[in-house]
Chain A
Amino acid sequence: MQGLIEDRRLEKMSALPIQFGPSETVGSTIEWLGRLSERMIRAALGGEKLAYEMRDLAASLSHLYGLLAAEHDAWLGRISSEPVESVTLAVGKQFEEQFNKWHAAAVSVIESSRRLAGEGIEVEGVDRLRDLAGFCPYVGISIEELMRRGKGSEKDLVSLRKVRDGLRRRVDAQGR
């Protein structure tokens, strides 16, 4: 009986249009961690105490990135047979918003950790967080712009040699 109910539920789910987006749980946790990191920074904690908090925040944010990326991948899996142009932008915008909120929280932790590094205190886990933030999609560039990327005109190509010549001239001009 249970199996039958599950089967019907699955049937219903597979009939749903592709609208999976970031879950509320992940979204609200990102917001909460963002607020928490701001509060920590405002609390003007110093030294080891702040390093301890930042280490925990870095670990939580890294974990959360994995969850958000998994939701993003699950959504991609559902839309992979569709051409990019037909992807539901509304759902993509939700991911854009969540990745940007996550990035803002990560950057505040990275910056606090950098200040601590200046005092000679290393925050564990912040290097991994920096790498995740560095390649975080949708940051500083909207989903629409990202989807347009790579469509550049190929009628007017510039050889790498010319580009290198330009770079050399810039270096020479700088040296003068």
Chain B
Amino acid sequence: MGYAVALTRKAAEEFAAFPFDLAGVVDAHLGMLGDHPLRHGRKPYFPFRPGGLMSEFRHEFEDRTCYVRVFLHFGAGESSLVLTGFVVQAMGR
């Protein structure tokens, strides 16, 4: 992994509350973000707070589609990434 990834306490609590299947998918995405944050991230747009990066993806499960937004920024020294939160919407398929 290119960057050490850390989560704020609040983001870690949000992650811990995800259902297993979604947690696995988000975990894999966080791994990709750690390797290539700029490839998988973009500048946040309003109504999200400016600064840092936002990464969006969707994942199709058998019974639903999850739409996930991850908020992050580079940590001190630009050698780590700090995840500050998630916004998740699930829609039945």
Q: Which residues of A contact B (CB under 8 A)?
A: 76, 79, 84, 87, 92, 107, 110-111, 114, 130-131, 133-141, 143, 146-154, 156-160, 162-164, 166-167, 170-171, 174
**Chain B interfacial positions (CB closer than 8 Å to A):** 4-12, 15-16, 20, 23-24, 27, 30, 34, 44-52, 56, 58, 65-67, 69, 71, 73, 82, 84-85, 87, 89, 91-93
4 nearest A-B residue pairs (beta carbon): A134-B67, A152-B8, A160-B5, A157-B6
Complex CA distance for A169 and B67, rounded to whole angstroms = 25
- Tell whether A84 pairs with B49 under 8 Å between CB atoms, given A134-B58, A152-B10, A171-B20: yes
Chain A binding surface, main DSSP class: helix
Given the known interface contacts A133-B91, A150-B71, the answer about A158 and B49 at a Cβ–Cβ threshold of 8 Å is no
Find out whether the CB atom of A114 lies under 8 angstroms from the CB atom of B8: no
Question: Are the C-beta atoms of A152 and B84 separated by less than 8 Å?
Answer: yes
How long is the Cα–Cα vector from A133 to B92 in the complex, in angstroms?
11
A149 in contact with B71 given A163-B16, A166-B16 (CB within 8 Å):
yes
Contact yes or no, A84 B27, CB < 8 A = no
Given contacts A143-B47, A150-B48, A162-B12, 15 further A-B contacts (CB under 8 A): A114-B93, A130-B65, A131-B65, A134-B66, A134-B89, A136-B89, A146-B47, A147-B47, A152-B10, A152-B84, A157-B9, A158-B7, A158-B12, A167-B23, A170-B20
Question: A149 near B85 (CB under 8 angstroms)?
Answer: yes
A161 to chain B, nearest CB (A): 9
A29 to B78, CA, bound (A): 47
A124 CB to closest chain B CB (Å) equals 16
Partner of B47, one of A92, A110, A156, A163: A92
Interface centre among A84, A139, A152, A153 (most CB of B within 10 A): A152
Chain A residue with the shortest CB-CB distance to B18: A167
Q: Which of B7, B48, B49, B73 contacts A157 (CB 8 A)?
A: B7
Contact present for A135 and B10 (CB under 8 Å): no
The answer to whether A138 touches B47, judged by C-beta atoms less than 8 angstroms apart, is yes
Which residues of chain A are near B46, meaning CB under 8 Å? 76, 79, 84, 87
B49 & A163 in contact (Cβ 8 Å cutoff): no
